[in-house]
A and B are shown apart, each in its own frame.
Chain A
Amino acid sequence: GAGVSQSPRYKVAKRGQDVALRCDPISGHVSLFWYQQALGQGPEFLTYFQNEAQLDKSGLPSDRFFAERPEGSVSTLKIQRTQQEDSAVYLCASSPEEDYQETQYFGPGTRLLVL
């Protein structure tokens, strides 16, 4: 079966531009996570959805970051007025469980470069 897919795989943006990153989770997965992975670092949590509800957005670094999952499947992470420090790989993960979400399946990520 298909895994988690993300698009675009690569995005180059000029500083100040808005970007939108898409995540297609595994069909039927209730939980969806966004992580940010800086070069040479481990993934860091950004936000979590259970179905269409955004239950935790404590990891979003600023109010320029916004995520949505309006129909409980596809999710979009939007970054407004991009800054150079936003350059990173953005990973999406989904999990079939409502509770615990132990088994998280990751997509390949979107590599964002802000010039």
Chain B
Amino acid sequence: QQQVKQSPQSLIVQKGGIPIINCAYENTAFDYFPWYQQFPGKGPALLIAIRPDVSEKKEGRFTISFNKSAKQFSLHIMDSQPGDSATYFCAAKDQTGANNLFFGTGTRLTVIP
């Protein structure tokens, strides 16, 4: 079963808009939550990550909001640009269990100029 649920599947925004991508999980052992950006023909690249001891993390135009009690986290892209058009994946990792990342199904973002 899908350990990390991601929505929406696709998203179209105008340049300057603030796309928001949401993820939810059930496994309370997860304690590391990264977001990856993937361009066509490329591998995923780490964008930003958060641990559950903070509710928000900001790096440049990218912000993660984390709600531990709801087991949800989201990515916000401020002042989105056409170059941000890509597929975004949320992921989760259990530091004490499996070594691998569990990925969401991805959100295809298109930023219209």
Residue numbers of A with Cβ under 8 A of B are: 4, 31, 33, 35, 40-45, 48, 55-56, 58-59, 91, 93, 100-109
Contacts of B41 in A (CB 8 A): 108
Which 5 residue pairs spanning A and B have beta carbons closest together? A42-B103, A106-B43, A45-B100, A48-B99, A106-B44
* Contact B104–A4 (Cβ < 8 Å): no
Partner of B106, one of A40, A59, A91: A40
CA distance A60 to B100 in the complex (A): 13
New A-B contacts (20) at CB < 8 Å, excluding given A55-B99, A106-B45: A31-B99, A40-B106, A42-B6, A42-B103, A42-B104, A42-B106, A43-B101, A45-B100, A45-B101, A48-B99, A56-B99, A93-B43, A101-B99, A102-B34, A102-B49, A103-B46, A104-B46, A105-B46, A108-B41, A109-B43
Minimum C-beta distance from A51 to chain B (A): 13
Residue numbers of B with Cβ under 8 A of A are: 4, 6, 32, 34, 36, 41-46, 49, 89, 91, 93, 95, 98-106
Partner of B43, one of A4, A40, A55, A100: A4
Contacts of B43 in A (CB 8 A): 4, 91, 93, 106-109
* Contact B103–A108 (Cβ < 8 Å): no
